[in-house]
A and B are shown apart, each in its own frame.
Chain A
């Protein structure tokens, strides 16, 4: 399969469907077993310290609440810049992720920090809005300075088999993004089967997504290790076929450092070390960061200081 042949697969509903359904199946029991095995890796001492710092650098620090205010967003941006105010060696996070209305605030707060501003868009989290509205949502966020757009796919269309509609929507959003990077949220909790996760991953990559992301965080289950494993296999295979590297972002439900390390092990042993970089792997999380900070302090001092010694933002 060449890159040109892959462009052709979206020529029609039939060719796209034939391609997606021609992908190798995923055996759920086997995929779960592989993820569970990777979860038994024991990451200690130097490896743990390295992994925790990397995980901090990979965090998309997120607030996506109806109650979000400029004050809340400013506090989050301060946390993003200096996650541990007591330790200047602590790295900052990769990005702050907010609703489009808060992009301008975040951009102003993070100016010069190198931290990206990501915005959800396209009628997040349901995606149930007319395409024109979704595109306008995207353009507004980009116009306010968002570096990254986290869009949701049209799961209704996907589950009813209208793959071309999903594809064309992603293409249109990508175009509306301009220079901004596009993360495509598959909402794997609603896709239900691993075969669907693999197909949606390929669909998003074929349509030009720069990242594929598991979840909005608003649907259970959100990110799981097996689902992330399947998406990592997809980006690995996609690069082998096309030469283009696509990133992966599990989001929602990852709260403990121990879990973050399991994800890093899975990245390492599935897609490989090229993905062990904030440019290619992110954690969509809010509470995870504080656990990473507490574990980081414990490794440095030998003492577990507890939640009163990290900032709540």
Chain B
């Protein structure tokens, strides 16, 4: 009996049309940067150069902010909520119409499997626009006073792990509230944001309401420090978040930060074990572990640790690592050489500090940035791999004996973005969830997202909430 070998099932990339170079999207059209600077974006699965993308300098950021201000003062701010809603619904529908193209483009630029960009990212992007479109004419019922007003111009900086989804999280509530935006996508994943700029043109969105300035960290700094910005929203590393908080301190700018995490995924001995194993896998290997709320610390009750780990190893051996465009791929490419280096460095530290490293047999492609799904056992709270955010497909396993110890260990981190609890006992879920210092606690599931649900962190994972009714607050003066 031969093995069941799944034949390659690649999604066609002919649906996307990647230009050789992209300008900045300012005031409704694509313009060249003032100093002509650019950088290349590559396909992390192949290292192939995809496009030259403009690098916005000081005068470019300035003209983007001015365009946003003008649009805010003259068009978008005064517009009736019901009319703003029409535009948002139109954006949502266009995203759905172009869903396949956007999914393929996201997978090419980011390295994530097409199954995730197709089934998770892009549907959620459309859902966020639909959801906030619904709020645009109902803001007075959102619980932020009888007549909440927009704040003005938002400067938004987003990460590379969910490029278009993070754009939706930022832009949809801002626009619903009557604000205009200047958004900087991550330097390694600008292409879907630029495709979104085309969607804005297609939707006849008034010029200047959405401006996209591409570039690296310096462009981001110019944007958040620009005096014409009223509100800064950042998702990314805690280190950069700290620098932004410092630069914003003493100004009138409002700030929300969604930063790193080192989430505990807690498996009690009465957990539904097969689904818990799925949840562990989904918690850490979803999106190659490039997830700020990833369940990167597995806390297993000691009495079942052998059984859980045996099942987990079997399950990890089923993960299909490879071509992000293959419809059967579970784990795609690491987003960049720099991130791959960081994952390698922290994994080496894990071994050096005495933890046991294991990966299933797994053939990685020769070109591109790849890292096999990795499991560390024998990890203690003192190890770097238990404390630092790896942001890769690396899981650290720790054990506990009692619920109190599980909670203590779960909270023993400077972060507090998310956590997971697995038990068949409802009362334990409620008790443990109330004691976890984390913005999101998933019960018998993990990495589930919905536009109606607020998301955000405790402690060094940031402040402010995105999503849901709560997500409107950051974009409303009241």
Binding site for B on A (CB under 8 A): 24-27, 29-31, 33-34, 40-48, 50-51, 233, 264-265, 268-269, 273, 276-277
Contact = CB atoms under 8 A, between A and B. Distances in A.
Contact of A277 (B1, B115, B279): B1
B470 to A, nearest CB: 24
Contacts of A25: 270-272, 424
A268 B4 contact: yes
Most chain A Cβ neighbours within 10 Å, of B3, B6, B7, B9: B6
A264 B4 contact: yes
22 contacts: A24-B270, A24-B274, A26-B274, A26-B275, A27-B424, A30-B272, A30-B279, A30-B445, A31-B274, A31-B275, A33-B278, A40-B119, A40-B327, A42-B328, A43-B9, A44-B7, A46-B7, A47-B7, A48-B7, A264-B4, A265-B4, A273-B4
Given A24-B273, A25-B272, A51-B4, A30 B278 contact: yes
Contacts of B63: none
Interface-centre pick from A30, A41, A269 (highest chain B CB count, 10 A): A30
B261 to A, nearest CB: 22
Contacts of A40: 115, 119, 327
A44 B272 CA distance: 33
A38 B402 CA distance: 35
Interface in B425-478: 444-445
B12 to A, nearest CB: 12
Contacts of B9: 42-44
Contact of B272 (A26, A50, A264): A26
A179 to B, nearest CB: 25
Nearest to B423: A25
Contacts of A46: 5, 7
A233 B328 contact: no
B303 interface: no
B36 interface: no
Contacts of B328: 41-42
Interface of B: 1-9, 115, 119, 270-275, 278-279, 318, 327-328, 424, 444-445
A34 B327 contact: no
A149 to B, nearest CB: 26
Given A30-B444, A44-B7, A269 B271 contact: no
A307 B214 CA distance: 56
Contact of B4 (A26, A45, A276): A276
A258 B271 CA distance: 33
Given A30-B278, A40-B115, A40-B119, A24 B1 contact: no
A2 B245 CA distance: 59
A41 B274 CA distance: 20
Contacts of B272: 24-27, 30
Contacts of A29: 444-445
B327 A42 contact: yes
Nearest to B444: A27
A70 to B, nearest CB: 36
Contacts of A44: 7-9
- The 10 A-B pairs with the shortest beta carbon distances in the complex, nearest first, are A30-B275, A42-B9, A42-B327, A27-B272, A27-B275, A24-B273, A47-B7, A25-B424, A25-B272, A45-B7
B318 A269 contact: yes
Contact of B6 (A27, A31, A47, A277): A47
B156 to A, nearest CB: 32
Contacts of A33: 278
Contacts of B4: 47, 50-51, 264-265, 268, 273, 276
B311 to A, nearest CB: 9
Given A29-B444, A40-B115, A34 B275 contact: yes
A273 B7 contact: no
Contacts of B279: 30
A194 B4 CA distance: 28
B330 to A, nearest CB: 9
A27, A43, A264 pick with most chain B CB within 10 angstroms: A27
Nearest to A233: B274
Contacts of B3: 273
B1 A273 contact: yes
A229 to B, nearest CB: 9
Contacts of B444: 27, 29-30
A240 to B, nearest CB: 8
A268 B327 CA distance: 17
Given A24-B273, A27-B275, A50-B2, 20 more contacts: A24-B270, A24-B271, A24-B272, A25-B272, A30-B274, A30-B275, A30-B278, A30-B444, A34-B278, A41-B327, A42-B328, A43-B6, A47-B4, A50-B5, A51-B4, A264-B4, A268-B4, A273-B1, A276-B1, A276-B4
A268 B2 CA distance: 12
Contacts of B1: 273, 276-277
Contact of A41 (B2, B6, B270, B445): B6
Contacts of B2: 50
Nearest to A32: B275
